[in-house]
Chain A
Amino acid sequence: MRKFEKLKSRVVPLPIENIDTDQIIPARFLKATTREGFGENLFRDWRFDSNNQPKADFIMNNPTYSGKIMVAGKNFGCGSSREHAAWAIQDYGFDVVISSFFADIFKGNALNNGLLPIQVSDEFLDVIFQAVTKNPNTELVIDLENQTVLLAETGDQESFEINPYKKSCLINGYDDIDFILNNKNLIEEYEQSK
């Protein structure tokens, strides 16, 4: 897993609630057996019409907005457990997703892939949306070590929560399997005690 430290980037705003993983990556694109290439079909049916032409009114087709940070409405990533959703977002080029609320499985999947989900307050989410609407070049600074999100222009800032174990995984590029495998003797003891 890639290491995550600090990021300064512009943002792509998606002010829609309850974005489910079927929108992020529709089921018909889940047939691949590797982790790569899903970015192409990220938000497929929002990005492209039935003739595979980009839909002009969808924000990701608007060159005004770009960056490594996606900001979305609350309850992001609900629905299916497909990790392909996290892979697609990352493969497209995002390193961070900000929302005021994440679905559990999505959050776990993102963290397991080094994609950082940041939960901010409804108010701060609104502050970000307004700042980006006013100025699409708005930049955010994500500081994982200090657990803060900062609006570079205004200095508005909020801190976010992250499980300390998961934080160290992201910073060091470890994954859970390394951790559990180090406890294999305990697993075998547990099995014998049953």
Chain B
Amino acid sequence: MSRTLVEKIWDAHVVKREESFPDILYIDTHLIHEVTSPQAFDGLRKRGIPVFRPKQTVATADHNVPTLNQHLPIKEELSRYQVDMLTKNCAEFGIELYGLGHPYQGIVHVIGPELGITLPGKTMVCGDSHTSTHGAFGAIAFGIGTSQVEQVFATQCLLQQKPKTMKIEVNGTLGKGVGAKDIILYIIAQISAAGGTGYFIEYAGTAIQALSMEARMTICNMSIEMGARGGLIAPDQTTFDYIKGREFAPKGAEWDKELAYWKTLYSDADAQFDKVLSFKAEDISPMITYGTNPGMGMGITEHIPAIKSQPESEQFSYQKALEYMGFEDDKEILGRPVDYVFIGSCTNSRIEDLREIASFVKGKQKASDVEVWIVPGSKQVEKQAIQEGLDKIFEAAGFQLREPGCSACLGMNEDKIPAGKYCVSTSNRNFEGRQGPNARTMLVSPLTAAAAAVTGKISDIRELL
């Protein structure tokens, strides 16, 4: 019988299937971090049971860590306590930890792929909704809550209903200055922040196949922003080339065996999806969000949609969002001044993002009244950036290159955007207060963020290239 890629991987991981029960799904790899794990470890202690498969679990500290002076003890007491707890818990339960100071430390969704832990055909979970990032390799990867973290600790399995499947095709060629982030912001704006709920999404089409692995991660990363459980892309030569030679990737005969399996991981030609959507790459321009959910996005030269163009039942929420942002409907956003530029997060903090920004910024200066933070996704990204001399380019431009972590993506450490200020951000969420109480976030691609940094206002990158 023909099956979709999701079905192939899912079926290969079912431990038990029973009528009217969720499947018991085996989890190959469990990633954890300091914020959503402590209560799960406590749960194990209360039950008096160990972590069932500690070797299939990898930990890092990312959400709560400072991005300056990481070699010093964390100043903020609660953050320090939480990070210390992770260290203690990992030691007690025998879990490998890439904590502060470790050369592999970084945002959990950046380190998995770069270390060769993320592989095609795997099932992967993490107590973090952007676990969908790993789907770029053709894995089933999704975010879970803390009770489920405890479940995976205890059993290496999850009780899960098999999701519905959706295929989103993007065909054609992207225009100048338009990248993966614009594709995904465009799709979310088209189908809304709830448009993918209940589905696992497979991205396909020529525009997706043409993307690098890191660009594919940007796409899959934001699947959750349309409500989807996860998103994935069938592995191909680009995937295999990226994985080969990475620290924990299979080697020698093991590699050949795995590769042969990976090559079977695609949706059969006549596989049935529950829903299929199709978009043209040529229709996508540099995108920006103007509201307080990622579905409130538009082409950067467009006008903010009119309140009265919204369904009546949603006008109140829509107006509330625009008030929060200090925007008026039916107006342009282009040319509006910007206070902060944040380049980072598991969406856009990998080496290709930094290279792209550096090549645009080289020889330019940031606008004088803009603060620009670049927070690399991991220690390895940071090291690579320095080896390539990108740090010098950023320094000359007046951009601050910080140390790895989630940082102003969620403002859990001290990297917060002050109340009322406008931040152009390469992260994935523009929710009220996400980057700090009353901070105003506009989501964009790395290039559009760099353009705002240099001009001090919302600018169309296509005019600057």
Contacts and interface: CB of A to CB of B under 8 A. Distances in A.
Interface of A: 15-18, 20, 22-23, 26-28, 30-35, 45, 50, 73-75, 78-84, 86, 101, 103-105, 108-109, 112-113, 122, 126, 163-165, 175-177, 179-181, 183-184, 186-187, 190-191
A83 B146 CA distance: 6
B147 A112 contact: yes
Q: Which of B82, B145, B161 has the most CB of A within 10 A?
A: B145
Contact of B21 (A82, A86, A165): A165
B50 interface: no
Nearest to B411: A27
A82 B36 contact: yes
Interface of B: 15-16, 20-22, 24, 26, 35-36, 38-39, 42-43, 47, 52, 63-64, 78-79, 81-82, 85, 127-129, 143-148, 150-151, 154-159, 161, 193-194, 197-198, 224, 227, 229, 293, 295, 313-314, 316-317, 320, 410-412, 419, 429, 431-434, 437-438
Given A20-B293, A34-B42, A183 B194 contact: no
Given A80-B129, A163-B22, A165-B20, 9 more contacts: A23-B432, A33-B85, A45-B432, A103-B197, A104-B198, A109-B146, A112-B145, A177-B47, A177-B155
B143 to A, nearest CB: 4
5 contacts: A18-B193, A18-B317, A20-B293, A108-B148, A165-B22
Contacts of A175: 147
Nearest to B147: A112
Contact of A23 (B313, B316, B431): B431
A22 B432 CA distance: 8
A112 B148 contact: yes
Contacts of B63: 27, 30
Contacts of A74: 194
B157 A187 contact: yes
A175 B153 CA distance: 14
Nearest to A184: B155
A84 B224 CA distance: 18
A109 B129 contact: no
B190 to A, nearest CB: 16
Nearest to B35: A30
A118 B171 CA distance: 39
B155 A180 contact: yes
Nearest to B226: A78
Contact of A16 (B85, B227, B320): B320
A181 B154 contact: yes
Nearest to B142: A105
A164 B293 CA distance: 33
A45 B434 CA distance: 11
B154 A180 contact: yes
Contacts of A30: 35, 63, 412
A183 B161 CA distance: 17
User: Which 10 A-B pairs have CB atoms at the shortest separation, nearest pair first?
Assistant: A109-B145, A83-B145, A33-B38, A31-B78, A112-B147, A81-B143, A81-B129, A75-B194, A83-B146, A22-B431
B15 A177 contact: no
Contacts of B151: 176-177, 180
A181 B1 CA distance: 32
Contacts of A28: 411-412
B197 A27 contact: no
A177 B158 CA distance: 9
Contacts of A179: 159
B71 to A, nearest CB: 22
A181 B159 CA distance: 11
Q: Which of A22, A23, A34, A175 has the most CB of B within 10 A?
A: A22
B314 A186 contact: no
A137 B158 CA distance: 41
B82 A31 contact: yes
A112 B149 CA distance: 12
A79 B38 contact: no
Given A18-B194, A83-B36, A104-B197, A180 B429 contact: no
Contact of A187 (B81, B155, B317): B155
A19 B21 CA distance: 30
B406 to A, nearest CB: 9
B137 to A, nearest CB: 19
B159 A176 contact: yes
Nearest to B82: A31
Contact of B154 (A80, A109, A122, A177): A177
Contacts of B229: 104
Given A22-B434, A50-B419, A17 B314 contact: yes
B155 A31 contact: no
Contacts of A15: 316
A101 B431 contact: no
Given A31-B64, A45-B437, A186 B431 contact: no
A50 B79 CA distance: 21
Contacts of B146: 83-84, 109
Given A20-B431, A183-B15, A33 B143 contact: no
A87 to B, nearest CB: 8
A136 B338 CA distance: 44
Contact of B127 (A27, A81, A104, A112): A81
Given A45-B438, A176-B151, A79 B317 contact: no
A175 B155 CA distance: 13
A103 B227 contact: yes
A10 to B, nearest CB: 23
B18 to A, nearest CB: 9
A86 B24 CA distance: 23
Contacts of A190: 15, 26
B317 A17 contact: yes
A45 B433 CA distance: 8
B24 A183 contact: yes
Contacts of B227: 75, 78, 103-104
B147 A83 contact: yes
